[in-house]
């Protein structure tokens, strides 16, 4: 073909990447790879095949991790952890810096290996994945250096069990290992069985740089190996990236174990295009959003929502752009869309698209060769309830749906059980920021998409999981606030029979429930007795499942509280402290009747808590992250939503105040179950709440059997998080039942914490009451 012909067609010629060095390395390990445990590789055991998805060829054999392999890896990590944590921040930083340098020195090798193993185009491995891997280790070397200054009052978890997916094998490893090591933890990591090879190469780099033995351990295997790691009693913290279904299984598996947990799960992210958007730029954004990595991206912009006024023009431009995408050999530098990772995943894509076609959608497809490839696909005529709109396909398939008004667009965007990411396109930055605040997603990109950096947190809302990776919030996921530990006691079932113990003198007061700003009779029609050291003190309502449902409904209607300014919320909390102070003698008398050892001190500390959390309401700020050039990345603290709080038995007033106030200071509305044995201290607060301008529904109080009410809260899909202070079996139950909608949970043994001391008030409560939304805004372009 002549130069003239080439200039006429502008076709790409072949541009293959040389893979000789990588294939020679694989050939040298023809007998198979062992695990990396305690700073050395084990001999290969029972192995399974690893394939090149583009060619369908076996390229390696790796060992299937057994229970004994996991035991050995956890033991090595446990042995290494105390010494690793005792190193100065500077010494840990030097190790992380060395890893970053050697990742760069082996960058080409890692990029080629990743492409052969995973099927993604070499341009993505070379220009995106591997540079970000190095960036994460450099960034977290910095956090290791200054962690003592920035994260006071925290400590590492210990040994972290980490399970990563096959879509970004090396990058997900960096996201997990870098912050864990920077914080002083050691790790046992399992790569995906389809794509374990860059993890093995990374283990060789760890040995090459002289990382202390046992700090990083890599165990290969299938799902059984992963389950053995996360369920191992020697693991202190679990971090998992993968499907929502497996995330729920892990939540149930480790319930009640006391393990920390972060989950980065599935998504069905909206890609919202307004009428004034730069349509050409938005079309390129779609290419990055859904055809990057063959659409095998948890935050892929799989649902295009486009303003009706420009939908026709946008679809025309997009279909024309699809025709120019090149699907084929991932090692060719001119390839846009590579191979699907495995025939099993290809079959799933085909199955879901087939279901969509049966529903009547129209498919527009590009081109793809034979083998483990799938063409870029646009589905139009898609209803919001279609399987293509609701299910995570994890392939190069995108839907297009129109909307008329911004409110319609938001409704469609949030019409999903997920909440990982969103991309917003408009030349009106005011509109973009308004929509960013309303969309339920942990990451929002404005006029860009799939932009990542180690300096900004990544993670989702709802069933996309909880916890963040990257930035300061990612470091916090591997640190815990120092708190006392201790088992909680189970409580007897409340007695609803008349106690026959005589009256208390004065006019009888009936303590009802408090729901939606009003006192309400319990649905059961029963009350139960509150006992003091001198006998019965009074009766409170016996709340049940329906009362919790009513309280959650009232709390959900109080969502505007989260939109109030921090200053306005602070004023309400100050007023609450003022009114509590005015009735201090009354509350002191109540606590004395319940047998409180220091009733006056408990009331005074409760008043101080009101003022401390009022002060924090407008000062617990987000951040502006230093990320990529031409962007400002805003890390905004947002409330979880409806928060269920099950309060401690002892110190019934102070325990209630210490948990409810940080939650509402951050904009949550709460359904609180007060101390089962001292509930009258909380029911006396009704009038204080009513006279302190607390909006109806922000605080709801349901008295009754602690664990029965906690179970209902944990099962309720409108509840976004639950804090439980109680028995060990109750904690296990709460964590297991919360898996239904993946609530954020905090459980602790009743009686482990002294609520009157330093452990009863700190920023750890505020961290638990918030989630971070990272908003990427163009800046300086």
Concatenated DSSP letters of 65-97: --HHHHHHHHHHHHHHHHHHHHS-HHHHHHHHH
pTM: 0.94
Q: What tokens were used for 23?
A: 């294939």
Closest residue by Cα to residue 605 from 582, 624, 580: 580
Phi first, then psi: give them for residue 262, nearest 5 degrees: -130, 140
pLDDT at residue number 504: 55
| Bridge partners, residue 540, by sequence | 511, 528
Query: How far is Cα 372 from Cα 597, in angstroms, rounded to an integer?
Result: 71
pLDDT at residue number 501: 60
Q: What tokens were used for 73?
A: 């890896």
Residues in the chain: 781
Residue 9 has pLDDT above 70, yes or no: no
Our measurement of the distance from residue 216's CA atom to the centroid of its chain's CA atoms, rounded to an integer in Å, reads: 23
406, 310 Cβ separation under 8 angstroms: no
Which range among 55-69, 164-178, 373-387, 625-639 shows the weakest confidence by mean pLDDT? 625-639
SS3 content of the chain, % helix, strand, coil (to 5): 45, 20, 35
Torsion of CA 113, 456, 744, 384, to 10 degrees: -80
Q: Write out the E strands in 479-585.
A: 479-481, 513-515, 518-520, 527-532, 535-541
Q: What tokens were used for 268?
A: 């069905």
pLDDT at residue number 499: 64
Query: How far is Cα 399 from Cα 224, in angstroms, rounded to an integer?
Result: 35
pLDDT at residue number 707: 96
Query: How far is Cα 627 from Cα 630, in angstroms, rounded to an integer?
Result: 9
Higher pLDDT, 562 or 4: 562
Residue 506 has pLDDT above 90, yes or no: no
pLDDT in tens, 101-150: 999 999 999 999 999 999 999 999 999 999 999 999 999 999 999 999 99
Secondary structure (3-state) at 28: helix
pLDDT in tens, 391-431: 999 999 999 999 999 999 999 999 999 999 999 999 999 99
Looking at the annotation, which residues are catalytic?
264
Secondary structure (3-state) at 328: coil
Secondary structure (3-state) at 385: coil
Closest residue by Cα to residue 384 from 415, 349, 418: 415
Query: How far is Cα 715 from Cα 737, in angstroms, rounded to an integer?
Result: 6
Residue 507 has pLDDT above 70, yes or no: no
The pLDDT of 723-748, averaged and rounded, is 96
In Å, what is the CA distance from 16 to each residue of 7, 329, 708? 21, 9, 64
Q: What tokens were used for 749?
A: 């043994």
DSSP string across 128-140? IIHHHHHHHHHHH
Confidence class for position 484, pLDDT limits 50, 70, 90: confident
Query: How far is Cα 54 from Cα 32, in angstroms, rounded to an integer?
Result: 21
pLDDT at residue number 503: 57
Confidence class for position 781, pLDDT limits 50, 70, 90: low
Who contacts 779 (Cβ-Cβ below 8 Å, separation ≥6)?
Answer: 630, 631, 632
pLDDT at residue number 502: 58
446, 432 Cβ separation under 8 angstroms: yes
Query: How far is Cα 539 from Cα 512, in angstroms, rounded to an integer?
Result: 9
Tokens 């063409």 correspond to what residue?
Answer: 375
The pLDDT of 32-37, averaged and rounded, is 98
pLDDT in tens, 227-268: 999 999 999 999 999 999 999 999 999 999 999 999 999 999
Confidence class for position 733, pLDDT limits 50, 70, 90: very high
Our measurement of the distance from residue 405's CA atom to the centroid of its chain's CA atoms, rounded to an integer in Å, reads: 30
| Bridge partners, residue 327, by sequence | 337
Confidence class for position 494, pLDDT limits 50, 70, 90: confident
Half-sphere exposure (Cβ direction) of 78: Cα atoms closer than 13 Å: 11
- Mean residue pLDDT of the chain comes to 94
The pLDDT of 156-167, averaged and rounded, is 97
Tokens 């007897």 correspond to what residue?
Answer: 492
Cα R_g (the chain), whole angstroms:
28
Closest residue by Cα to residue 262 from 543, 448, 473, 20: 473
Query: How far is Cα 510 from Cα 530, in angstroms, rounded to an integer?
Result: 12
* DSSP code, position 666: T
- pLDDT above 90 covers a percentage of the chain that reads 91
| Bridge partners, residue 636, by sequence | 773
Closest residue by Cα to residue 702 from 601, 575, 554: 554
662, 765 Cβ separation under 8 angstroms: yes
**What domains are there in the chain, each with its CATH number?**
20-264+476-480 (3.40.605.10), 270-459 (3.40.309.10), 513-778 (3.40.605.10)
Residue 6 has pLDDT above 80, yes or no: no
The pLDDT of 160-172, averaged and rounded, is 97
Confidence class for position 481, pLDDT limits 50, 70, 90: confident
Tokens 């009354």 correspond to what residue?
Answer: 586
pLDDT at residue number 505: 56
pLDDT at residue number 1: 61
pLDDT at residue number 452: 94
Residue 7 has pLDDT above 70, yes or no: no
Query: How far is Cα 557 from Cα 712, in angstroms, rounded to an integer?
Result: 19
């Amino acid at each position: 073909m002549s130069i003239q012909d080439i200039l006429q067609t502008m076709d790409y010629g072949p541009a293959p990447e040389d893979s000789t060095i990588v294939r020679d390395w694989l050939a040298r390990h023809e007998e198979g790879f062992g695990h990396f445990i305690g700073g050395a590789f084990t001999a290969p055991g029972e192995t399974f095949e690893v394939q090149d998805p583009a060619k369908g060829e076996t390229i390696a054999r790796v060992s299937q991790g057994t229970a004994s392999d996991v035991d050995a890896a956890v033991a090595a990590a446990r042995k290494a952890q105390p010494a690793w944590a005792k190193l100065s921040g500077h010494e840990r930083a030097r190790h992380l810096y060395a890893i970053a340098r050697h990742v760069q020195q082996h960058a080409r090798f890692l990029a080629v290996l990743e492409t052969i193993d995973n099927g993604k185009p070499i341009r993505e491995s070379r220009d995106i994945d591997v540079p970000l891997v190095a960036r994460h280790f450099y960034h977290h070397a910095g956090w290791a250096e200054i962690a003592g200054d920035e994260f006071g009052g925290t400590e590492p978890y210990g040994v972290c069990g980490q399970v990563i997916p096959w879509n970004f094998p090396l990058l997900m490893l960096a996201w997990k290992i870098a912050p864990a090591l920077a914080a002083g933890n050691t790790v046992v990591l399992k790569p995906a069985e389809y794509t374990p090879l860059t993890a093995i190469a990374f283990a060789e780099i760890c040995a090459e740089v002289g990382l202390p033995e046992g700090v990083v351990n890599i165990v290969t295997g299938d799902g059984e190996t992963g389950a053995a790691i996360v369920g191992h009693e020697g693991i202190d913290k679990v971090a998992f990236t993968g499907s929502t279904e497996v995330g729920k299984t892990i939540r149930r598996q480790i319930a009640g174990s006391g393990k920390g947990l972060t989950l980065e799960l599935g998504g069905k992210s909206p890609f919202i295009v307004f009428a004034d958007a730069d349509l050409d730029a938005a079309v390129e954004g779609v290419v990055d959003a859904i055809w990057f990595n063959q659409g095998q991206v948890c935050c892929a912009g799989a649902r295009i929502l486009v303003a009706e006024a420009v939908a026709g023009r946008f679809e025309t431009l997009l279909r024309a752009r699809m025709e120019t995408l090149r699907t084929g050999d991932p090692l060719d530098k001119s390839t846009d869309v590579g191979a699907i990772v495995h025939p099993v995943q290809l079959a799933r894509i085909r199955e879901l698209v087939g279901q969509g076609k049966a529903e009547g959608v129209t498919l527009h497809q590009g081109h793809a060769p034979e083998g483990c490839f799938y063409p870029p696909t646009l589905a139009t005529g898609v209803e919001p309830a279609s399987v293509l709109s609701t299910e995570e396909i994890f392939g190069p398939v995108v839907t297009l749906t129109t909307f008329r008004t911004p409110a319609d667009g938001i409704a469609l965007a949030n019409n999903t059980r997920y909440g990982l990411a969103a991309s917003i396109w408009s030349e009106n930055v005011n509109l973009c920021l308004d929509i960013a605040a309303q969309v339920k997603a942990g990451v929002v990109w404005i006029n860009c998409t799939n932009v990542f950096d180690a300096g900004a947190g990544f993670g989702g809302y709802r069933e996309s999981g909880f916890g963040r990776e990257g930035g300061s919030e990612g470091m916090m996921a591997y640190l815990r606030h120092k708190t006392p530990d201790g088992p909680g006691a189970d409580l007897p079932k409340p007695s609803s029979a008349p106690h026959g113990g005589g009256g208390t003198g004065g006019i009888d007061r009936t303590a009802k429930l408090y729901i939606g700003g009003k006192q309400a009779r319990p649905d059961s029609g029963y009350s139960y007795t509150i006992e003091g050291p001198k006998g019965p003190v009074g009766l409170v309502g016996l709340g049940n499942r329906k009362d919790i449902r009513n309280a959650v409904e009232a709390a959900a209607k109080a969502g505007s509280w989260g939109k109030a300014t921090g200053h306005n919320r602070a004023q309400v909390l100050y007023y609450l402290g003022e009114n509590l102070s005015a009735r201090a003698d009354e509350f002191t008398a109540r606590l004395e009747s319940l047998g409180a050892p220091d009733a006056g001190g408990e009331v005074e500390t409760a008043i101080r808590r009101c003022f401390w959390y009022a002060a924090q309401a407008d000062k617990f700020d987000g951040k502006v992250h230093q990320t990529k050039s031409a962007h400002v990345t805003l890390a905004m603290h947002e409330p979880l939503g409806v928060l269920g709080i099950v309060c401690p038995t002892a110190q019934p007033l102070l325990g209630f105040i210490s948990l409810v106030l940080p939650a509402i200071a951050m904009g949550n509305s709460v359904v609180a179950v007060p101390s089962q044995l001292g509930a009258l201290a909380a029911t006396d607060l009704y009038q204080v709440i009513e006279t302190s301008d607390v909006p109806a529904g922000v605080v709801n109080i349901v008295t009754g059997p602690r664990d029965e009410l906690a179970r209902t809260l944990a099962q309720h899909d409108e509840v976004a998080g639950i804090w439980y202070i109680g028995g060990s079996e109750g904690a296990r139950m709460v964590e297991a039942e919360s898996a239904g909608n993946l609530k954020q949970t905090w459980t602790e043994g009743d009686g482990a914490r002294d609520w009157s001391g330093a452990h009863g008030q700190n920023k750890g409560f505020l961290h638990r009451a918030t989630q971070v939304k990272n908003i990427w805004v163009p800046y300086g372009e």
